[in-house]
Amino acid sequence: MKAVIDKDRHWYVVRTNVKAEAKASENIRKAGYDIYYPRSRMEVKNKRTHTYTMRESALMPRYLFIGLPQVERNFFKVRTCDGVECILGVDGHPARISAEHVEAIYLAEIDMQFDDRKQEAKSKKASTEMQFPKGEGILVTDSLNPFAMFGGVVQEVTKSGKVSSSRTFRANDASGIRAETAHSCGIRTI
């Protein structure tokens, strides 16, 4: 993986052959060009041994980002690299993308926003349990939700981090109960 995205280069999207992202990435790097191969990581449970292993896969299957020098843009040399199918473009001309877009994807990958890991699921559930403790009163505030302005009491937080409640009541029936902070999920404690 690259250490940084060079903003002085012109960035293009390369389409690779099927399941040839790693091969194309290596061959383009050997040809002397900057390459960024975005990946995601996930933990997969083995059904027989019940152990978790980390798997890495292409974030965007069949696509890579290539940084070419501003002066010498030899698309033919890139196209002849093993594993490369084409450079994406319009009307036969390669389409350039901004280095900021490539850098945004790179920074999101570094921040592990594309990763799906067991540890993250546990922390998500723990933070939801902290926001909505068992026995706490809640009120649905999302206007698009069919249960908008209904309330209840938190029963449990499921393994996936969803809040389960019971004893629903209308918001106007809950007079005298003051609302606390609103949460992004459209539920707030009361």
Q: And the tokens for 138?
A: 């809640």
Q: And the tokens for 71?
A: 């002066």
Instruction: Give the pLDDT of the chain (190 residues) as one tens digit per residue.
Output: 555 788 999 999 999 999 999 999 999 999 999 999 999 998 888 899 989 888 999 999 999 999 999 888 889 999 999 999 999 999 989 999 999 999 999 999 988 888 877 666 666 666 777 777 888 888 777 777 777 777 888 888 876 677 777 766 665 554 433 333 334 345 555 5
Distance CA 31, CA 14 (A): 14
Taking residue 32's Cβ as centre, other Cβ atoms within 10 Å add up to: 10
**Domains (range + CATH), the chain:** 10-116 (3.30.70.940), 120-189 (2.30.30)
> What are the CA-CA distances from residue 146 to residues 73, 127, 150, 186 (Å)?
55, 25, 9, 12
Is 0.75 surpassed by the pTM of this model?
A: no
Dihedral over Cα of 181, 186, 187, 190: its sign: positive
| Per-residue DSSP letter, 179 | P
